[in-house]
Amino acid sequence: MELLDHYLGNLVSITKFVLESVSVLCIILGLVKTLQMVWAGDRRTMNTPKFFNSIRLQFGLWLALALEFQLGADILSTTIAPTLESLSKLGLIAVIRTFLNYFLGKELESEIRMEIEQERQEHGP
């Protein structure tokens, strides 16, 4: 049984490392994609709230994805050796992720509604 426990601990450690690495990659990718969006943006509309919101939403979605992977890594580490610190960290990340996803969802809905309204105004009813 100790041998299985040892292998399970190693598997959890490796998987946790992979999940944390993917989380970091998501943030880096999000930064790169967001910078590409800024670079390719129309210079005339760059100072508008719509452009700023689309940039913020772009990066926010990547951050939310990174938090999902981080949450998975923390869940794994908590299953093997639950400490008060690891449980607190897990709870905090879950709360942050939940709030971030909730507000990103609301902003995406708002952004989609604004785009639909602009299309209606440009093309008529």
Range from 6-20, 36-50, 107-121 that averages highest in pLDDT: 6-20
Sign of CA dihedral 78, 95, 98, 33: negative
Task: Give yes or no for a contact between 62 and 33, defined as CB atoms under 8 angstroms apart.
Answer: yes
- 74, burial (CB in 10 Å: exposed 0-12, middle 13-18, buried 19+): buried
pLDDT at residue number 25: 98
Q: What's the whole-model pTM score?
A: 0.74
Most confident by average pLDDT, 5-9, 27-31, 92-96: 27-31
- Report how far residue 26's alpha carbon sits from residue 71's, in angstroms, rounded to the nearest whole number: 13
Mean pLDDT of 53-60: 84
pLDDT at 60: 85
